[in-house]
Chain A
Amino acid sequence: MTVSGWILILAFVGVLLALTKPVGDWLFALYEGRRTPLHAVLGPVERGFYRLSGIDPDEEQSWRRYAVHMLVLNAVLMLFTYAILRLQVLLPLNPMGFAGLPQHLAANTAVSFTTNTNWQSYSGESTMSNLSQMLGLTIHNFMSAATGIALAFALFRGFARHEAKGIGNFWADCTRITLYLLLPISCLYALYLVASGVPQTLAASANVTTLEGVKQTLMLGPVASQEAIKMLGTNGGGFFNANSAHPFENPTALTNFVQMLSIFLIGFGLTWCFGKAVGNTKQGWAILSAMVLIFLAGVAVCYWQEASGNPVLHHLGVPGANMEGKEVRFGAAASALFATVTTAASCGAVNAMHDSFTALGGLVPLFNIQLGEVVVGGVGAGIYGFLLFAILAVFVAGLMVGRTPEYVGKKIEAREVKLAVLAIAVLPLVILGMTAISSVVAPGLAGPLNKGPHGFSEILYAFTSAVGNNGSAFAGLTASTPYYDGMLAVAMWIGRFFIIVPMLAVAGSLAGKKYTPESAGSFPTTGPLWVGLLVGIVLILGGLTFLPSLALGPIADHLAMIHGQLF
């Protein structure tokens, strides 16, 4: 580890903390449906959208209606992308003449992008036409992000409103977030990326003859426009197979820094927005503090391990950091930081290959996703996941001191706790269940590239990533088979919507409750004690379930690594 590595990590957190309030205020304006300076330009577009689709943006929706409308939009978008991927050979903007995707791959990809997972079973540069990238995939990068933030707004309203029936209007939330937040930032961001070297063209490729006379085909395309929203919306699906490690997606250490910031930007802002929504910004800071603590612990372990390197290579006369699967321009620190950020959030973009990390360095991204990606998390999804943990934390605190649990002015009762447990229990059930099945059936065992415990880690990581809607991978696993495409698609769908629906039910139930003013008997949910309790609940409930599986995978791998046992 180096001093400059730690300066990088601290500067990263510092810049984000400075941006939390301005971004949070902007989000709060959208949450409330207030005018922003951008309304002068985009207001007519917004109203046009409502008029054409016959929406009354002021109609308050019950949680059920909010959920159904959200599900139907997502289903339609998914079918739309499935159709484009299947038919791309017949559609325009296919300069390389790529064939339509086979059924299982198209279905997996459509689910993957709809659920904000962006698991890539395909290799972008050799499968996807420019139209598929733009129309089939970029649109989901916006819409799955907008859906996530809209859902967080719905839950905030559940806490903030009293004796109310509605939790907002899904269409208005989604449209405003897209037009006034995601689209304008993406435009500026994309142009910054182009200026830094990210291609943006409708041409497919450029042919060059290298200094030694070898022909090289450089794949190009509308990369920057997709890259911007890929990071901002915590999507993570890269234009190229190598994702943000590809020099055309992430050309410099500075673009790398900006990409990492943009993964966390909205997630940080949402904690401030939550505080404003419930009338006490300390509530937001308490959540953010718990998130940052867990995050920093993860970065420290990952950076330490990657900088220490692989003893197996040290014995071969190659000392130093673990550079297998890393880019020189980033080095160990920025690679470890990126890996921790992308898995703490449900982004899944990678600037280094997690599969080639040291055993414990690779455990950190895996464990981050297993915690439910609530450490900042995916846009929207992180904070609504975290608030479910907060509900359990006040419940546990209530049990310990024998008081009725309350959180931000709402009594937490059996219904909310049951729904929160239901949402949180989905994760380990599906991850561990599907990993177990895949570790014994033949098509499952055919997947891993690496042998021994690391092969098991590849399977475990795949299902963890799918259910957590992350999308990063221990990419040695051959996942583009009908078995894995199918299993992972089911895992992604369950991981997204089986959490969302109970979460919206919690929002609906909370919105209907009376305001319970804080009293001397209330457990304070702003101080260090609360932050500690939150961290504990997340680690115990989110993490402990997975400990046996981690022992079989990365921990066994680590013990083998330090003893020089190879597979």
Chain B
Amino acid sequence: MSNDLTTSLRPALVMTGLFALTLGIAYPLAITGVAQVAFPHQANGSLVERGGKAIGSTLIGQNFASDRYFHPRPSAAGKGYDATASSGSNLGPTSQALADRVKGDVARLPVTGKPIPPDLVTTSASGLDPDISPEAALYQADRVATARHLDPAQVKALVRRSVDTPILAFLGDPHVNVLALNRALDAIAAR
């Protein structure tokens, strides 16, 4: 037993050093090097620019509060869409706090007679969900159209064009990227 222990020390120490160099230093640095050359856009956060300035990332949700824009989902990341503090609400199914929050959000939505899409009043897992469901976008279309003095049919058509359909028809759910949709909206308004 003590022989087993003494024979283990050198390999344990040397192997720790070797694996640290290979797996902890060489591997991530090599991947970083290749990634920065081959996929610089993605490797640096898939940033979206307008007029040379970064206005966000296609992958990370950002808050929209104005009636002129489509709104994202409620967010539990920091004070909302804080990308330094990704988080869900972690409220359970029988949480009074969850029910109160949803009740408050429902009350703030316009009454349309249509059922409320669940993603519109629930927080995402990351708090940074960049997407909403097509239903959640359509639910807001009238409000956006009114605020921008646009024809609601035109805004709804824009939403339908912006839907990302699932890959191979079964991977994931249809969704609309809120930032992309709002930029497209700005683009028609500018025309």
Task: Enumerate chain A interface residues (CB-CB to B < 8 A).
Answer: 4-5, 7-8, 11, 45, 49, 52-55, 64-65, 68-69, 72-73, 75-77, 80, 123, 125-126, 134-136, 138-139, 142-143, 171, 174-175, 178, 183, 186-187, 190-191, 194-203, 205-212, 214, 216-220, 222, 224-226, 240-242, 245-248, 251-254, 256-257, 309-310, 312-313, 316-335, 350-353, 355-359, 362, 449-454, 457, 474-476, 557, 560-561, 565-567
Contacts and interface: CB of A to CB of B under 8 A. Distances in A.
B4 A64 contact: yes
Contact of B14 (A52, A201, A331): A52
Contacts of A451: 95-96
Given A8-B171, A331-B173, A194 B125 contact: no
Given A171-B11, A226-B28, A253 B116 contact: no
B152 interface: no
A53 B183 contact: no
B88 A355 contact: yes
Contacts, number: 389
Interface string B63-87: 1111001000100010001111111
A336 B12 CA distance: 40
Interface in B118-136: 118-119, 121-133
Given A209-B54, A328-B129, A355-B90, A194 B173 contact: no
Q: Which 9 A-B pairs have the closest CB atoms?
A: A253-B172, A331-B173, A245-B125, A476-B90, A135-B24, A454-B92, A53-B14, A353-B88, A242-B86
Contacts of A320: 115, 117-118
Contacts of B62: 210-212, 214, 216
Contacts of B20: 80, 135, 139
Contact of B32 (A135, A200, A246, A329): A200
Nearest to B1: A64
A567 B94 contact: yes
A199 B27 contact: no
Contacts of A196: 42
B47 A206 contact: yes
7 contacts: A125-B84, A195-B39, A207-B54, A319-B116, A326-B125, A355-B88, A449-B91
B190 interface: no
B126 A327 contact: yes
A95 to B, nearest CB: 13
B36 to A, nearest CB: 7
A183 B23 contact: yes
A139 B54 contact: no
B96 A566 contact: yes
Contact of B59 (A212, A226, A247): A247
A61 B30 CA distance: 35
Contacts of B31: 187, 190-191, 194, 200, 222, 224-225
B146 interface: no
B61 to A, nearest CB: 8
B76 to A, nearest CB: 9
Contacts of B47: 206, 208, 218
A318 B106 contact: yes
A318 B93 contact: no
A199 B44 contact: yes
From B14, B16, B95, B125, name the one whose CB has the most chain A CB atoms within 10 angstroms: B125
B64 A211 contact: yes
Nearest to A305: B93
A186 to B, nearest CB: 7
Interface in B1-34: 1, 4-5, 7-16, 18-20, 22-25, 27-28, 30-32, 34
A243 to B, nearest CB: 8
Interface of B: 1, 4-5, 7-16, 18-20, 22-25, 27-28, 30-32, 34-36, 38-39, 42-47, 53-66, 69, 73, 77, 81-96, 98-99, 102-103, 106, 115-119, 121-133, 166-167, 169-173, 175, 179, 182-183, 186
Nearest to A220: B45
Nearest to B33: A200
A69 B6 CA distance: 9
Contacts of B125: 242, 245, 325-327, 335, 350-353, 356
Contact of B94 (A183, A216, A353, A359): A359
A59 B62 CA distance: 58
Given A52-B18, A143-B19, A246-B128, A69 B12 contact: yes
A225 B89 CA distance: 28
A557 B126 contact: no
A214 B9 CA distance: 55
A445 B96 CA distance: 19
A222 B129 contact: no
Given A4-B169, A329-B175, A191 B38 contact: yes
B78 to A, nearest CB: 10
Contacts of A178: 19, 23
Nearest to B133: A328
A131 to B, nearest CB: 9
Contacts of A254: 167, 171-172
B13 A76 contact: yes
Given A199-B42, A224-B43, A324-B88, 5 more contacts: A178-B19, A194-B42, A201-B35, A214-B62, A313-B99
Given A217-B83, A225-B32, A359-B94, A210 B43 contact: no
A323 B69 contact: no
Contact of B179 (A138, A211, A241, A362): A211
A136 B23 CA distance: 10
B95 A327 contact: no
B63 A240 contact: no
A69 B12 CA distance: 8
A72 B131 contact: no
A73 B12 contact: yes
Contact of A253 (B81, B166, B179): B166
Contacts of A333: 173
B179 to A, nearest CB: 7
B11 to A, nearest CB: 4
Contacts of B30: 187
A246 B126 contact: yes
A245 B88 contact: yes
A186 B27 contact: yes
B173 to A, nearest CB: 3
A200 B45 CA distance: 8
Contacts of B12: 69, 72-73, 75-76
Given A68-B1, A208-B56, A313-B102, A135 B90 contact: no
Contacts of A326: 122, 124-125
A372 B23 CA distance: 29
B142 to A, nearest CB: 18
